[in-house]
Structure formats: structure tokens, C-alpha cells
């Protein structure tokens, strides 16, 4: 485990609840407040918590929530009772046998951050997720763990309500629009998780006074629900037969009469965890400490209670010896202090875990403590690089390229090569060139920093880079994968500096048709560091003569007009490439991305804005995609068993079907048959006015939800080559080659490419080792993505707190029976608006045709006014106000009364 910054040798990671509300120290969940009076004493010899001497406290706990799996352990005194709360895990031998026989199912566990007693794993058939009902059924597994589950009897399966009137979120799918398709990090309402699945879970209505009859009650409720569903479907059959059903088709009759299809549509399988195969979750969390409630208990003298911010992590006993010295005498002084705690044990006979305090982070709601907590939760190594690692770097500075290395490379230092990056970028790992040829064609080059020259296999530097796997980009800083000497100096393609590169060069027609292709190690000298703004200005002003004061320093070897022509030529070719990509069936889902302006002294957010994706961004993107695809083909041809590639599976079937049904209900003609068809539908069905643009943003957000993660993989471990495909790019082979400063996967691809050209060491890694590294890169990439989102959430919550209230137009994107979800268009965030928080005299929910509709009846503001109705449907435009709540990082959206001026 890497060492955390600040001298503490223990580093922890967590799965943080993406919720501004739950970070607040005042927001402890009352349902989880327990009486610890019945807890047994600690080990007196050590002043540390002995997990073997902790029984089960009486009263509700994190594991005792209102679910069927937990009822038998709820509100039962434990004194003298030896019964375990959780089942013992199955042996690995039994697990292997059960998986082989198909009696057990394995998969990654996803816990609903909004309802922590609900969890899911993907179904092997790709249809409806398997539901894990309650913390007891989850059996001490945490979010992200790879678990093995056993299906429960059919009478314990869950019923899906057909009308969806009280639709809630499954909210745990790791939907991901790959960076090559959007390049965005969307600030979202974290309580709602990663995606709102249309699945609706109806929990059995148990008798709270008689938990022992839970199974009988379950069967009764299930029978009643199925009976009701049968009545509903019988009505549909009659309607279909009479031709009265809206939009009914002839085969609808057979569908609703088919028990198997009825089961698939209205029943969701449930299961319990019987084994944790891999603990992906780090067992660490940020949270708050408090004294135990019963001051007379022996346990009160030994330990405190740690309450994680993320309710998916259990509460834990921690030793008072690890708490601040004056905590017992002045606990109120620490009510708003964030701490890091690691879960070290969670026994079968206890609702509580055992934790070990790591460090105090600081005050909740402040940027640095919150940021450090996010990094530690997700296992981001932000410590200083060790001396062993630094010794792998060139020791003689300033460093110059050795003559022998220069002689072995193609020398491009006299060519007009330049970088285009964000203005704040310091790790410049890609450059472009475009030279006009005498025959009317052009030579285009993509030149990538040759990181593999400095990061040699088997070294300490290689080891730490492979462990970090990616740089992590926060709002205010970057946690680099490599030492800054490399990522900001020796590898960064800084202007007027000789740099080692790996290049892909093409001879092209002016329309972008490739005539010839070349790969090789090169040396370049960038002539200018352009920002996207500079390149965009050149594109928008093709005839303008730019003065030296309008651009960064330019090499005297290349006049500004030469650079300008090269940018215009690249832009022209990129437009052809992009057009052809989408003709060939590619998909792009551009979600709103929030960017911040920060105060240079305080680091606090001064303002925020939606990032504009312009032609200069598209120019760079097209050539990076082209290079990645070219390298993928090259390394796969050379090493079909060892090539490190990147695949993007098709959308999740169940979620896609639900989305298709939704679009049908809304009267939207969307073609879901392929990625290209979806892209065409999304971009051709709307006009150019602001309302149409808002609808497009909402639909783009919805379409991203069924998308699965794009994954690195080793070609040799997948026998079926059709699985290699990248769904959204609609190409057979793809990889990452263009960002080796910030992604270790690209370093491995560089080594493979070098070996394929005979200019590097032969590939020594076996396919199993490459796949293991690919899996690790996938894990760290997802963690980095979550950290980036949480950093944006943090800064936006602080911005609302410091600069709010903030008004914005918003569009409704989901309607429930007592609430509705909106996309706040000015800031790109999603919020849920609850009707009971509004000054209403009443609320009416109904289905108009197939569309859900809420009618809000506003209270009159004066006696002369009448009740004002407001109809809320999907795609309704409303005015909202974002206001900071009681917690330091909690904010909410309030609906403005209709008719009021902005």
C-alpha cells in the first residue's frame, strides 16, 4: 500500500457516497443511531478493540434495515444469544464447484448510494440485474467487491410494478461514456448514483411486529402482487383482442399470456452473498467519530463509534487510544472534523465492523481536507516518489539526448510540429504536424512522448507507474503518474526543446484518404505551444495575419503563417475524417462539463461555466483516434496473443430495452439498432433552438446510462474476436497510445509497438500478466474518474455555498409520484425536487396516455389569488434556484413559483 502524503505510513481508499448532503457532519442517518449498551467489553490487556469479544448490540444497526434479509435480527436483545448476524462464507472449493454447476453466480457488487440496503450484481444473461436485499444478504461485502451469490427461492424474488408510478433508482450501474467519445466529467447529483435504471423495486410489506413470519408474509405479498399483475395483463389481453389498447400489436396477446415473459418483465431475482472473491473496496472511509451512547458500559471507556460519510460502509468501533487526546472530554470540538478510518474486521456475530483510525483530515467542507479524503478513499497514491524511484531518472541535468539515440531515430526537429492543449496543461504528450507535398497530398504526423525510453521494465519507476496506472486530475491540481521531472520536463513536448517521440505518420489526400502509413521512433522540436483558444482563433479567422503578441513564443525557424496553414489543413482533414467516422457508424455522447475559475491566492472557486467543445478540440481528437486505431492494428498483427487493446461492449440489454420503451412512450422516434443509428437519431431529430438543445442534453444523459465501461484487455485471453469491438467507435480494434505521460496502458502499448518494429526489447510479459495489468488499469481508471467527478462536486457545492443562491433554467428528465428530477442547464448538474418541500396545497400524479404527469397546486400568495396549477412532465422547462443547506457541502434545488420573473 503506497504511503499517504503527510508522513502517515498508512494509506486508505474508500468508496465515497457522491452526495453533498452526506458529507455534512450534521447529517448522520437517524435510522443508524444505535444503543450500544449491550455491547461486550474490550480486551483489557491492550486498550485495543478485540473483534472476537464484540457481540451484537441491541437495537437497529447498519445491518438492521427494513428489508426481508434483516428482519430476523432486528430489535432482538443479544445477551446470552450466540446466533450470528451473518452467514459464514463458503469454502473456495464449494464456490468453485457451485460456479461450475451453475448453482452460484459471480459478479461485481454495486450498492445503491441512496438506499444502502439495496445492492445488485449483473445477471449473466445481461437482462435484469440480480437484487441483493439487505445488509445481511450482502454478508459484509462492500461496493465494488467481486462476490459470489446464491439465488434465493422464487417466492422471495421481487415484483416490478408495471406502471412505474413510484419509480426509484437502481442507481448503481457504472455507466460510462468512454473518454474517446465525450472527454467529459459531468457533475451529477451524487445521491442518485451513476445511473437511474427504470427498474422499480417493490419491497414486500412485512409485519414489523412479527419478523418470524417474514417468509410467509413474503409469499403472501408476492402472490397478491402476481395476482394483481395477472389482472392487469388480462385487461391488456382484452384490450389487445378488441383493438382498443393504445399502440397494441397482434403479438402482444401471446406475450402477456406467456408465463416466462411475464416473469422476466415483472419479477427480479434475488440472491445472497456466499463468498467475496476479491475485495476491490479498500475498506477505508472518511467520516466522524462520536462517543458511545451508554456512558455506564465498559465499552464506553475503550472505544468510540466511527460513522462513515458513505452509508454503504458500516459503522465501526474504533479504539479511543487512536482518537485525539481530548476527544473524550471535549467531543463537541470534533463534531465537524473529518477522519479516515480503515475497516480491519467485520465478524459474523456483529452488526458493527472494527475500525482502525488513520488520521484526522481537518474541517468538513474545506477544500483540502475533503480532497485528501477523496484521494485516500479511492486509493490514489499522492505521496512523494521514493528515492529508489527518483534514482531511475536521469541524474545529470540539464539532460541532453545521447548521440547514439539521435542516430537511431528519424530526425524531425526541423519540421513544423506543434502542440495544442488546454492553456493550463503542463504535461504535453502529443504534438501534430501537417506538411504539404509536391503532388498535392499532405504528410500528417502524430508525435507522442516516448515515455518508454525513460520508464524501463523491471525498475522501481516502472513498478510505481504500473501501480498508479493513471494520473488523477482534480479541479485544482494533478496527482501525476510519473515524477514531475518526466511528466513536466523530459517527456513533455515543451516548445523549442528537443524531445524523444514515437510517431505515426500518414500520406493523405486533402480529403483524409490514407495512402501510406509509417510508425517509428523519432526526435522532434515543437515550434509552439498552442492552446485550444489559439487554434480555434486560427480556424475561425483563416485570412487573419496573427501578430507575435497574439500567440505564445514561436520558434524563429517557423513563421506564424506556416503554423496557421498547418492548423487550417489539419482542420480541413479532420472534418472529413469526422464526417466519415459518423457515416461509418460511430457514436458520440457529449454531456455537459462544468469548469471552474479559481482564485489564485485562496484556491476558492470564483466562477463556473459549461466547457465548450469546439472545432480545435475536434481537430486534435480526430488525429488521436486515428493514431490509436492504427497502432491497435499494428500491435495485433505482430502480437495477436499479447496485444493490449481497448474494447467497448454494447449497451446493457435491460437498460437499453427500458430506454427504448421510454422513447416509445414519449413519442420519440429513436433508432437503437446500432451506435451509428443512435447517433443519427440524436443529432437529426431536434432543431437548433434552446428548447431543442435542452431536450438533446436530457436525452444524451439518458442514452449514456445503458453504456458499459470501455475496458483494457489482452487479446490472447478472449477467444471470440467479435468481443474486441469498440461499440461506440464502431471499429474492430482500438487501443490507447497517445497519452503515455498520464496512462500506464499507453506505456505498455509503446513497448509492444517498439517490439513490433524491431526497435525495442522483445515482449517478455505473458498474456496472463498483461491481462492482470489491464484489469488494474481498468480499476484505477474508474477510481480516477470517480475522484474527478467528486472533485467537481466538491467545488460546485462550495461555489453554491459561497456565491449562491444560483438561478437557472432546468429541464425535467424524470417524473415520480411525489418528486421529479431536473437537469440544471446552466451548470449541468442533476437534482431531485421533492414536492413536500414546496408550498403546495396538493399534488396529483397520473398517466396521460403512457406519459407520467405531475400537477402541482401552488398555494396562493395573497387571499385574492387562486390556487395555481403547474403541470410537470418530462421535457418541461422550469426555473430553479440552487441554495446551500445546513451542511457544509449540501445544496438543494428549489422550484421557482411559475409566473415569477427571473
Q: Give backbone dihedrals phi and psi of 83, rounded to 5 degrees, phi first.
A: -65, 135
In angstroms, the Cα distances linking 583 to 617, 675, 730 are: 20, 11, 11
In angstroms, the Cα distances linking 888 to 336, 794, 802 are: 9, 10, 10
144: left (phi over 0), alpha (psi -120 to 50) or beta: left
Q: Give backbone dihedrals phi and psi of 533, rounded to 5 degrees, phi first.
A: -65, -45
456: left (phi over 0), alpha (psi -120 to 50) or beta: beta
Taking a C-beta distance cutoff of 8 angstroms, is the pair 602, 591 a contact? no
Integer Cα distance of 529 and 159 in angstroms: 59
- Measured N-to-C along each axis, helices 675-684 and 690-704 cross at an angle, to the nearest 10 degrees, of 160
Polymer length in residues for the chain: 902
Integer Cα distance of 875 and 712 in angstroms: 37
The closest alpha carbon to 40, from 75, 3, 66, 78, belongs to 78
| Dihedral angle over CA of 537, 543, 548, 550, nearest 10 | -30
430 in a known ligand binding site: yes
Contacts of 385 (CB under 8 A, 6+ apart): 464, 483
Mapped onto helix, strand or coil, the DSSP state of residue 350 is: coil
Give the 3-state DSSP-derived string for 816-883, with helices as H, strands as E and coil as C: CCCEEEEEECCCCEEEEEEHHHCCEEEEEEEEECCEEEEEEEECCCCCCCCCEEEEECCCCEEEEEEE
Terminal Cα distance for the chain, rounded: 53
Integer Cα distance of 801 and 604 in angstroms: 11
In angstroms, the Cα distances linking 669 to 224, 587, 652 are: 37, 17, 20
47: left (phi over 0), alpha (psi -120 to 50) or beta: left
Q: Which long-range contacts (CB under 8 A, 24 or more apart) does 2-5 make?
A: 2/381, 2/383, 2/464, 2/467, 2/468, 3/381, 3/383, 4/358, 4/359, 4/376, 4/382, 4/383, 5/372, 5/382, 5/383, 5/384
Q: How far is CA 82 from the centre of its chain?
A: 41
The closest alpha carbon to 452, from 739, 646, 179, 711, belongs to 739
The closest alpha carbon to 452, from 775, 734, 178, 763, belongs to 763
The closest alpha carbon to 86, from 213, 343, 273, 218, belongs to 273
Cell numbers describing residue 522: 523519432
Q: How far is CA 415 from the centre of its chain?
A: 40
Q: Which residues are annotated as a binding site for Mg(2+)?
A: 421, 430
Q: Which residues are annotated as a binding site?
A: 421, 430
Amino acid at each position: 500500500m503506497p504511503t499517504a502524503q503527510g508522513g502517515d505510513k498508512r494509506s486508505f481508499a474508500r468508496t465515497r457516497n457522491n452526495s453533498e448532503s452526506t458529507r455534512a457532519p450534521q447529517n448522520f442517518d437517524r435510522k443508524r443511531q444505535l444503543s450500544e449498551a449491550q455491547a461486550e467489553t474490550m480486551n483489557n490487556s491492550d486498550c485495543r478493540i478485540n473483534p472476537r469479544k464484540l457481540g451484537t448490540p441491541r437495537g437497529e444497526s447498519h445491518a438492521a434495515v427494513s428489508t426481508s434479509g434483516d428482519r430476523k435480527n432486528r430489535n432482538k436483545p443479544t445477551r446470552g444469544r450466540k446466533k450470528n448476524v451473518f452467514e459464514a462464507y463458503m469454502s473456495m472449493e464449494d464456490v468453485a464447484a457451485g460456479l461450475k454447476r451453475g448453482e452460484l453466480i459471480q459478479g461485481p457488487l454495486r450498492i445503491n448510494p441512496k438506499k444502502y440496503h439495496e445492492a445488485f450484481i449483473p445477471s449473466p444473461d445481461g437482462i435484469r440485474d440480480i437484487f441483493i436485499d439487505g445488509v445481511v444478504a450482502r454478508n459484509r461485502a462492500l461496493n465494488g467487491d467481486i462476490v459470489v451469490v446464491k439465488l434465493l427461492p422464487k417466492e422471495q424474488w421481487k415484483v416490478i410494478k408495471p406502471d412505474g408510478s413510484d419509480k426509484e433508482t437502481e442507481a448503481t450501474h457504472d455507466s460510462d461514456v468512454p473518454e474517446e467519445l465525450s472527454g467529459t466529467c459531468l457533475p451529477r447529483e451524487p445521491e442518485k448514483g451513476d445511473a437511474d435504471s427504470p427498474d422499480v423495486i417493490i419491497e414486500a410489506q412485512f409485519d414489523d411486529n412479527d419478523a418470524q413470519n417474514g417468509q410467509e408474509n413474503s409469499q403472501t405479498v408476492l402472490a397478491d402482487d402476481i395476482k394483481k399483475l395477472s389482472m392487469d395483463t388480462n385487461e391488456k389481453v382484452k384490450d389487445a383482442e378488441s383493438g382498443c389498447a393504445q399502440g397494441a400489436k397482434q403479438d402482444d396477446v401471446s406475450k402477456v399470456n406467456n408465463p416466462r415473459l411475464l416473469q422476466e418483465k415483472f419479477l427480479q431475482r434475488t440472491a445472497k452473498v456466499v463468498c467475496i472473491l476479491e475485495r476491490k473496496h479498500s475498506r477505508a472511509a472518511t467520516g466522524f467519530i462520536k462517543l458511545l451512547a451508554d456512558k455506564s458500559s465498559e465499552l464506553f471507556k475503550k472505544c468510540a463509534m466511527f460513522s462513515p460519510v458513505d452509508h454503504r460502509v458500516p459503522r465501526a468501533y474504533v479504539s479511543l487510544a487512536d482518537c485525539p487526546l481530548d476527544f473524550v472530554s471535549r467531543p463537541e470540538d470534533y463534531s465537524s472534523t473529518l477522519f479516515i478510518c480503515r475497516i480491519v474486521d467485520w465478524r459474523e456475530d456483529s452488526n458493527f465492523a472494527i475500525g482502525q483510525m488513520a488520521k484526522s483530515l481537518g474541517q468538513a467542507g474545506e477544500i483540502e481536507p475533503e480532497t485528501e479524503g477523496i484521494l485516500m478513499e479511492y486509493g490514489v497514491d499522492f505521496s512523494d516518489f521514493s528515492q529508489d524511484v527518483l534514482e531511475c531518472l536521469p541524474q545529470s541535468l540539464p539532460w541532453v539526448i545521447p548521440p547514439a539515440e539521435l542516430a537511431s531515430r528519424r530526425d524531425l526537429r526541423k519540421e513544423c510540429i506543434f502542440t495544442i492543449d488546454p492553456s493550463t496543461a503542463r504535461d504535453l504528450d502529443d504534438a501534430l504536424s501537417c506538411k504539404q507535398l509536391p503532388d498535392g497530398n499532405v504528410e500528417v504526423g502524430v508525435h507522442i512522448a516516448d515515455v518508454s525510453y525513460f520508464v524501463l521494465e523491471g525498475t522501481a519507476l516502472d513498478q510505481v507507474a504500473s501501480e498508479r496506472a493513471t494520473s488523477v486530475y482534480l479541479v485544482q491540481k494533478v496527482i501525476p503518474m510519473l515524477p514531475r521531472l518526466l511528466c513536466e520536463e523530459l517527456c513533455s513536448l515543451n516548445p523549442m526543446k528537443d524531445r524523444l517521440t514515437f510517431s505515426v505518420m500518414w500520406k493523405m489526400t486533402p480529403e483524409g484518404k490514407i495512402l501510406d502509413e509509417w510508425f517509428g521512433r523519432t526526435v522532434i522540436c515543437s515550434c509552439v505551444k498552442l492552446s485550444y483558444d489559439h487554434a480555434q482563433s486560427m480556424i475561425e479567422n483563416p485570412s487573419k495575419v496573427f501578430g507575435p503578441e497574439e500567440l505564445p513564443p514561436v520558434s524563429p525557424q517557423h513563421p506564424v503563417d506556416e503554423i496557421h496553414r498547418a492548423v487550417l489543413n489539419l482542420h480541413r482533414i479532420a472534418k472529413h475524417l469526422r464526417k466519415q467516422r459518423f457515416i461509418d457508424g460511430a457514436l458520440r455522447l457529449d454531456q455537459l462539463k462544468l469548469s471552474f475559475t479559481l482564485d489564485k491566492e485562496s484556491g476558492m472557486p470564483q466562477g463556473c461555466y459549461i466547457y465548450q467543445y469546439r472545432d480545435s478540440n475536434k481537430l486534435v481528437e480526430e488525429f488521436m483516434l486515428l493514431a490509436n486505431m492504427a497502432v491497435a492494428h499494428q500491435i495485433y498483427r505482430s502480437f495477436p496473443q499479447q496485444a493490449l487493446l481497448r474494447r467497448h461492449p454494447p449497451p446493457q440489454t435491460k437498460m437499453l430495452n427500458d430506454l427504448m420503451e421510454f422513447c416509445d412512450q414519449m413519442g420519440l422516434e429513436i433508432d437503437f439498432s446500432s451506435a451509428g443509428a443512435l447517433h443519427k437519431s440524436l443529432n437529426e431529430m431536434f432543431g437548433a433552438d434552446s428548447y431543442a438543445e435542452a431536450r438533446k442534453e436530457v436525452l444524451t444523459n439518458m442514452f449514456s446510462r445503458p453504456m458499459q465501461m470501455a475496458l483494457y484487455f489482452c487479446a490472447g485471453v478472449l477467444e471470440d474476436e467479435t468481443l474486441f469491438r469498440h461499440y461506440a467507435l464502431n471499429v474492430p480494434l482500438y487501443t490507447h497510445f497517445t497519452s503515455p505521460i498520464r496512462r500506464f496502458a499507453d506505456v505498455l502499448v509503446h513497448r509492444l509497438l517498439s517490439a513490433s518494429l524491431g526497435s525495442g526489447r522483445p515482449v517478455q510479459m505473458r498474456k496472463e500478466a498483461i491481462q492482470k495489468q489491464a484489469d488494474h488499469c481498468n480499476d484505477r481508471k474508474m477510481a480516477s474518474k470517480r475522484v474527478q467527478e467528486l472533485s467537481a462536486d466538491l467545488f460546485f457545492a462550495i461555489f453554491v455555498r459561497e456565491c449562491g443562491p444560483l438561478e437557472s433554467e432546468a429541464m425535467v428528465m424524470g417524473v415520480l409520484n411525489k418528486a421529479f428530477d431536473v437537469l440544471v442547464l446552466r451548470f449541468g448538474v442533476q437534482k431531485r425536487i421533492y414536492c413536500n418541500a414546496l408550498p403546495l396545497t396538493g399534488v396529483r400524479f397520473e398517466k396521460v396516455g403512457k406519459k407520467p404527469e405531475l400537477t402541482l397546486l401552488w398555494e396562493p400568495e395573497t387571499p385574492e389569488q387562486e390556487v395555481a396549477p403547474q403541470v410537470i412532465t418530462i421535457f418541461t422547462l422550469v426555473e430553479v434556484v440552487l441554495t446551500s443547506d445546513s451542511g457544509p457541502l449540501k445544496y438543494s434545488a428549489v422550484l421557482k413559483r411559475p409566473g415569477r420573473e427571473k
